[in-house]
Amino acid sequence: MFDAMVRNTCAPTVLESGLKRNVIPSEATAQLSGRPLPGVTEEEFLKEVREIVVEGIELRKEEFRPGVEFDHRTELFDAIAAGIGKYDPEGAVVPYMVTGGTDARFLTGVDMAIYGFIPMRYEEGLNFFDLCHGHDERVSLANVRLGVQVLFDVVCRLNGVGG
């Protein structure tokens, strides 16, 4: 995962060729899934991919999804940090790059900051990254309660209620 935070990535995810085991196929196709870093243009990304694809191979782009980034110096980020601080004074809120896909990409043209928000406390014996979108995905009830409390606090702060 760290690799995709520091460089563009591209991997073959779907491979197709022959129909029978005993017949050599005349052609093969590979679908690539690429993740450009925020700020990398479509042209820059495709140039990088073309530099590593063997000459004579046809490369056709079906879609391009640019990397997404949002400024963390916002009222919302400050409200999140204050909300976390209320329930965990030693907790830290830090900007973080998500390497997976996010629906935030559909709102990049809108003037708003969008953050992934997962207020959770570390639990001994559980690796968050192993549980996230994996087999037996789960979150403890204590962390669900914490998440609801912090989110409620953030919404109140942003609307001038309590806090």
42 and 90 fall within a common domain: no
Say yes or no: 39 and 88 in one domain.
no
Does residue 51 surpass a pLDDT of 60? yes
pLDDT in tens, 16-39: 999 999 999 999 999 999 989 999
Q: What is the pLDDT of residues 94-113, one digit of tens each?
A: 888 777 777 887 877 788 88
Structural domain contains residue 120 = yes
Does position 131 have pLDDT exceeding 80, yes or no?
A: no
- One domain for residues 88 and 47: no
Per residue, the 3-state secondary structure of the chain, as one string, reads CCHHHHCCEEEEEEEECCCCCCCCCCCCEEEEEEECCECCCHHHHHHHHHHHCCCCCCCCCCCCCCECCCCCCCHHHHHHHHHHHHHCCCCCCCCCCCCCCCHHHHHCCCCCCCCCCCCCCCCCCCCHHHHCCCCCCCCCHHHHHHHHHHHHHHHHHHCCCCC
| In a shared domain, residues 90 and 48 | no
Q: Which domain holds residue 114?
A: 75-158
Q: What is the pLDDT of residues 136-153, one digit of tens each?
A: 777 888 989 999 999 999
Q: Are 52 and 34 in contact (CB under 8 A)?
A: no
| Number of domains composing the chain | 2
* pTM for this entry: 0.71
In a domain, 79, yes or no: yes
